[in-house]
Amino acid sequence: MSNIRAIRGMNDILPGDTPYWQHLERSVSGVLASYGYAEIRLPVVEQTELFKRSIGEVTDIVEKEMYTFDDRNGESLTLRPEGTAGCVRAAIQQGLLGVPQRLWYAGPMFRYERPQKGRQRQFHQIGAEAFGVATPDMDAELILLTARLWARLGIADSVELQLNSIGNLAARQAYRAALVTYLEQHEQALDEDSQRRLHSNPLRILDSKNPDTQALLDSAPDLADYLDDESRDDFVRLRELLDAAGVSYVINPRLVRGLDYYNKTVFEWVTDRLGAQGTVCAGGRYDGLVQQLGGKSTPGVGFAMGMERLVLLLQETGALSAVDANLDAYVVSVGSDAQRAALAQVEQLRSGMPGLNMLQHTGGGSFKSQLKKADKSAARVALIWGEDEVAAGTVTLKPLRESDGERQAQQTVPVEQLQAVLTAVLASDTQ
RNA sequence: GUGGCCGUAGCUCAUCUGGUAGAGCACCGGAUUGUGACUCCGGAGGUGGCGGGUUCAAGACCCGUCGGCCACCCCA
Give the nearest nucleotide to A387, CA to C1'. B34
A112/A424 Cα distance (integer angstroms):
55
HSE-CB at A284 with a 13 A cutoff on CA atoms is 26
A334 and A367 Cβ atoms separated by less than 8 Å: yes
Taking the C-alpha atoms of residue A138 and residue A298, their distance in angstroms, rounded to an integer, is 14
User: DSSP labels for A163-232?
Assistant: EEE---HHHHHHHHHHHHHHHHTTGGGS-HHHHHHHHH-GGGGGG---HHHHHHHTTSPPGGGG--HHHH
Residues A160/A269, Cβ–Cβ less than 8 Å: yes
Instruction: Work out whether strand A381-385 and strand A394-399 pair parallel, antiparallel, or are unpaired.
Output: antiparallel
Q: Coil, strand, or helix at residue A283?
A: strand
Q: Could you give the CA distance from residue A177 to residue A172 in angstroms, rounded to a whole number?
A: 9
Nucleotide nearest to A407 (CA to C1'): B37
Interval A63-82 mean pLDDT:
94
Q: Tell me, in Å, how far CA of A198 is from C1' of B21? A: 57
| Residue at the smallest CA–C1' distance to nucleotide B29 | A369
DSSP state of A409: P
Percent of chain A whose pLDDT exceeds 70: 97
A63 CA vs B63 C1’ separation (Å): 34
Query: In the prediction, which pLDDT does A324 show?
Result: 53
> C1' nearest to CA of A366: which nucleotide?
B34
| CATH code given to domain A18-168+228-317 | 3.30.930.10
d(CA A79, CA A70): 11
- Model pLDDT, residue A1: 39
CA of A113 to C1' of B31 (A): 57
**A223, A166 Cβ separation under 8 angstroms:** yes
Q: How far is the CA of A146 from the C1' of B55 (A)?
A: 64
The residue type found at A225 is: D
The CATH 3.30.930.10 domain(s) of chain A lie at 18-168+228-317
Q: How distant is C1' of B23 from CA of A117, in Å?
A: 31
Largest CA distance in chain A: 95
pLDDT tens track for A319-373 = 776 555 589 999 999 988 999 999 999 999 999 999 999 999 998 889 999 999 9
Q: At what angle do helices A84-93 and A48-55 cross, to 10 degrees?
A: 110
- Report the nucleotide nearest the CA of residue A306, measured to C1': B76
CA of A372 to C1' of B55 (A): 52
List, for residues A218-241, the tens digit of each pLDDT value: 889 999 999 999 999 999 999 999
Residue A122 has pLDDT above 60, yes or no: yes
Q: Å from A59 (CA) to B74 (C1')?
A: 9
First to last CA, chain A: 46
Nearest residue by alpha-carbon distance to C1' of B32: A368
pLDDT in tens, A168-224: 999 999 999 999 999 988 888 888 888 888 888 888 888 888 888 888 888 899 999
Q: Is the pLDDT of residue A31 over 90?
A: yes
CB A65 within 8 A of CB A81: yes
Contact A104, A126 (CB under 8 A): yes
DSSP string, A65-125: I-EEEE-TTS-EEEE-SSSHHHHHHHHHHTT--SS-EEEEEEEEEE-----BTTB-SEEEE
Q: Hey, CA dihedral for A220, A222, A223, A229, is it positive or negative?
A: negative
Of A107-111, A211-215, A284-288, where does mean pLDDT reach its minimum? A211-215
| Percentage of residues of chain A with pLDDT beyond 90 | 71
Question: Among all strands, which nt has the closest C1' to A8 (CA)?
Answer: B67
**Which nucleotide is nearest to A194 if distance is taken from CA to C1'?**
B73
Q: How confident is the model at residue A63 (pLDDT cuts 50, 70, 90)?
A: confident
Residue type for A383, please?
L
Least reliable range by pLDDT among A44-58, A100-114, A396-410: A396-410
Q: What is the pTM of this model?
A: 0.92
pLDDT at A6 over 90: no
Closest CA to A39 of A49, A30, A48: A30
The nucleotide minimizing the C1' distance to residue A7's CA is B67
Please state, as a whole number, how many other Cβ atoms lie within 10 Å of the Cβ of residue A218: 6
Paired strand residues for A294: none
CATH 3.40.50.800 boundaries in chain A: 329-430
**pLDDT tens digits, A253-279:** 989 887 888 999 999 999 999 988 899
Q: How confident is the model at residue A430 (pLDDT cuts 50, 70, 90)?
A: low
Give the model's pLDDT for residue A259: 82
pLDDT averaged over every residue in chain A: 91
List bases, strand B, within 7 Å of protein CB: 1-3, 26-30, 34-37, 49-50, 66-76
Over residues A379-384, mean pLDDT? 94
Give Cα separations from A420 to A224, A389, A396, A397 (angstroms).
70, 17, 13, 12
The residue that minimises its CA distance to C1' of B76 is A306
- State yes or no: pLDDT of A77 exceeds 90: yes
In this complex, which residue's CA is closest to the C1' atom of nucleotide B34?
A367
- Find which nucleotide's C1' atom is closest to A116's CA: B70
- In this structure, the strands spanning A250-251 and A101-110 are unpaired
Average pLDDT over residues A65-92: 95
CA A202, A206, A207: angle at the middle one, nearest 5?
Answer: 120
Residue A86: pLDDT band (50, 70, 90) is: very high
Q: In whole angstroms, what is the distance from residue A344 CA to residue A338 CA? A: 10
Residue A294 backbone zone (phi > 0: left; psi -120 to 50: alpha; other: beta): left
CA of A4 to C1' of B50 (A): 14
Taking the C1' atom of B67, which residue's CA lies nearest? A8
As beta bridge partners, residue A130 has: A102, A301
Task: Select from 3.30.230.10, 2.30.110.10, 3.40.50.800, 3.40.50.510 the CATH code of A329-430.
Answer: 3.40.50.800
A367 CA, B31 C1': Å apart = 16
Q: For residue A2, what pLDDT is reported?
A: 54
Q: How far is the CA of A7 from the C1' of B64 (A)?
A: 22
CA-to-C1' span, A102 to B71 (A): 38
- Closest nucleotide (C1' vs CA) to A127 is B76
Distance, in Å, from the CA atom of A333 to the CA atom of A359, rounded to the nearest integer, reads: 12
Average confidence (pLDDT) over A308-322: 84
How far: A193 CA to B61 C1' (Å)? 38
